[in-house]
Chains A and B, each alone.
Chain A
Amino acid sequence: MLLYLCKRLVLAVTISVTAVTLLFLMIHAVPGDIASILLGPRATPEMKAQLYQQMGLDKPLVVQLATFFGGLLHGDLGFDVFSQRPVADIVLEQLPYTLELILASILWAAAIAIPLGCYSAVRRNSAMDHIVGVMAVSTIAIPSFVMAVYALLIFAVSLRWLPAIGAGEGFADELIHLLLPSFAVGVGWVGYIARLLRASMLETLGENHIRTVRAFGVSEWRVITRYALPLAILPTVTILGVGIAWLLSAAVFVEVVFARPGIGALIVQAVNSRNYPIVMGTVLVTTFLIVIATTVSDLVNAALDPRIREEL
């Protein structure tokens, strides 16, 4: 396990370094002059020269890359020339909103999917089981922004039950503002999780200790919630790590639709104003998030299932 841990960590670090290098080169392969794009058509040569110096663009590419990596190690993602603030501050300021949204959507997905998955495992081949089967492939196929716009149309515009935009202020208000957006993100995962849970639940229900518990006369409800579910839910937990990339993508759209602050709103705004330092910073932070999440989930998987360790 220790060997696997080391190998996996080395892989994660190398992937991060390669990703950063690729992104860096990509930004510098931009057609046209960055300074004129950033400053607009009315920039004077002096302004451009100053910006060049400020961003370190007058140095050779290798030096720029080295400086950039050096900065990264100190948590420095560059400097935003528009707001005159460090990029890291701006991105980290928005990150909690997105993480909050992702967490809430996982809760939504779990709250709907766990009962569905248990029910369809217990009542196999019932109508509900077939519906869950269809949902497993269909809910994840429907794009989150369509889901978000329709949720907005139904619950906020037509029924006026929930607020349409913003993140709210104060704890209770923030929770209410989180309900619809997180639902729009989470519902995509419902089918998938329910299907996964159903499979592992069926496996668990066939095991000896469940038969023993049943033989003791424990009620079926208790058998499922107390003895089967905690075991059956394990494989589901490990896919959360892999799913974070999907959740982040979905969150981008949902933040825009509900006019919430967050990583998604930040990058869309930055792309529109062609603010490269912010775009780069956001992509870096999210890439790190994904690398960390996949590494952790791989390690958890390897801890649970020794066969995986040999695959690397």
Chain B
Amino acid sequence: MQPLIRAFGKNSDMASVEFIPAQVRKEPGAARTFLRQLGKNRLGTLGAVLVLILLSSAVFAPLIITHDATRIMVGPRLADPSSEFWLGTDQLGRDTFSRMIMGGRIPLLVAFASLGSSLVVGLALGLIAGFGPRWLDNLLLFLFDTIRSFPGIIFALAVIALLGPSMSSVILVIAITSMPIYARVVRTQTQALRNSEFVAAERSMGAGTTRILVFHMLPNVIGPLLILVSMDVPAVIAVEAGLSFLGMGVRPPTPDWGAILNEGYSNIQQSAWLVIAGGIPIVMATLGFTFLGEALRDIFDPKLRKYL
């Protein structure tokens, strides 16, 4: 363009071309489009509301609780709800409502920590498998298939038997078992892309493998992967709560939904309130994240169904 402008000069008579501002109607923003689509999906909305309630109650838990969640009080044990104790008390006289609110922090934390690390590892291994040499691909695929053949919760129990019950064991075992699916999806996507023209173009310009992987593959695979991860949140919450229910998760007296449910189960003949306080949040969380995850998938990537 430079020589052209110079030839005619800025004020020459030839410069009769006028800039016509395009009649652009203002497109609604991405966030607004998303919210409108989510609003149309009734289950998705319900899921979003449930998730919002749970997240905010976990974040603001210390402000909401009415008593110290771990303090053992000399008050009534296994009491029914009252104005003092909104959901009654547990077998040690602790306030059930406060424990229920505080109990949401562990599952959500475990979900983010385990799925986050699983996402990073799965992404890296998937990219390597999809882009690397054939033998490495086969080896990794084989590893993924082997991990997938371990029987879910039974494998988790075995790992916990080795490492001892703690939150980090739970995070580790969930991260290991959920990784193969992510890696497989990334691998399939990478393989589909590795022979595409834009990668060839980038390569001809002298880009190294790392650059291609990080700047060109990653943005293309991260979207579907994030949706897959969001759909795994309910399963992770279920596993975490389940392990706590079996007494293999967080150690007492830390409040946790699964642990509360277990205490309720032990005292089920005396009072139903503990079982309700432990179980209802688990149901709310798993359903909420499921509905939201399904809605996210339908909005962003309907094709993803075939992977599941």
Contacts and interface: CB of A to CB of B under 8 A. Distances in A.
A200 interface: no
Contacts of B289: 141
A257 B265 contact: yes
A157 B152 contact: no
Interface in B34-79: 43
Interface string B110-147: 00000000000000000000000000000000110110
B157 interface: yes
A19 B177 CA distance: 13
A18 B141 CA distance: 12
Interface stretch (B18-26, B83-91, B92-100, B268-276): B268-276
B162 A30 contact: yes
B151 A18 contact: no
Contacts of A271: 157-158, 160-161, 248
Contacts of A22: 146
Contacts of B207: none
A282 B235 CA distance: 23
B157 to A, nearest CB: 5
Contacts of A31: 163
A143 B237 CA distance: 9
A268 B246 contact: yes
Contact of B43 (A134, A142, A256): A134
A143 B149 contact: no
B153 interface: yes
Given A149-B268, A149-B279, A249 B159 contact: no
Interface stretch (B4-12, B222-230, B280-288, B299-307): B280-288
Interface residues of A, number: 54
A282 B245 contact: no
A249 B282 contact: no
B161 A276 contact: yes
Contacts of A280: 158
Interface in A115-159: 134, 137-138, 141-143, 145-146, 149-150, 152-153, 157-158
A196 interface: no
Q: Tell me which of A11, A27, A286 has the highest count of chain B C-beta atoms within 10 A of its own C-beta.
A: A286
Contacts of A283: 150-151, 154-155, 158
A151 B76 CA distance: 27
A138 B151 contact: no
A29 to B, nearest CB: 8
Interface string A2-21: 00000000010011101100
A141 B290 contact: yes
B268 A253 contact: no
Contacts of B272: 153, 157-158
Contacts of B268: 149, 152-153, 157
A209 interface: no
Contacts of A158: 272
Q: Tell me which of B160, B265, B289 has the highest count of chain A C-beta atoms within 10 A of its own C-beta.
A: B265
Contacts of A106: none
A253 B246 contact: yes
B104 interface: no
A245 B147 CA distance: 12
Contacts of A268: 157, 246
Given A142-B286, A286-B154, A270 B245 contact: no
Nearest to A271: B161
A167 B246 CA distance: 20
Contacts of B248: 271
Contacts of B279: 146, 149-150
20 contacts: A14-B142, A18-B146, A19-B150, A143-B242, A145-B261, A146-B261, A149-B261, A149-B264, A150-B279, A248-B151, A249-B154, A252-B157, A253-B246, A268-B157, A271-B157, A271-B158, A272-B247, A274-B161, A282-B154, A290-B150
List the 6 closest pairs (A to B, CB-CB), nearest first. A143-B238, A249-B153, A249-B152, A141-B290, A286-B151, A271-B161
Interface of A: 11, 14-16, 18-19, 22-23, 26-27, 29-31, 134, 137-138, 141-143, 145-146, 149-150, 152-153, 157-158, 245-246, 248-249, 252-253, 256-257, 263-264, 267-268, 270-272, 274, 276, 279-280, 282-283, 286-287, 289-291, 294
Given A146-B241, A150-B279, A253-B246, 9 more contacts: A19-B146, A19-B150, A26-B158, A143-B282, A149-B265, A252-B153, A253-B245, A280-B158, A283-B155
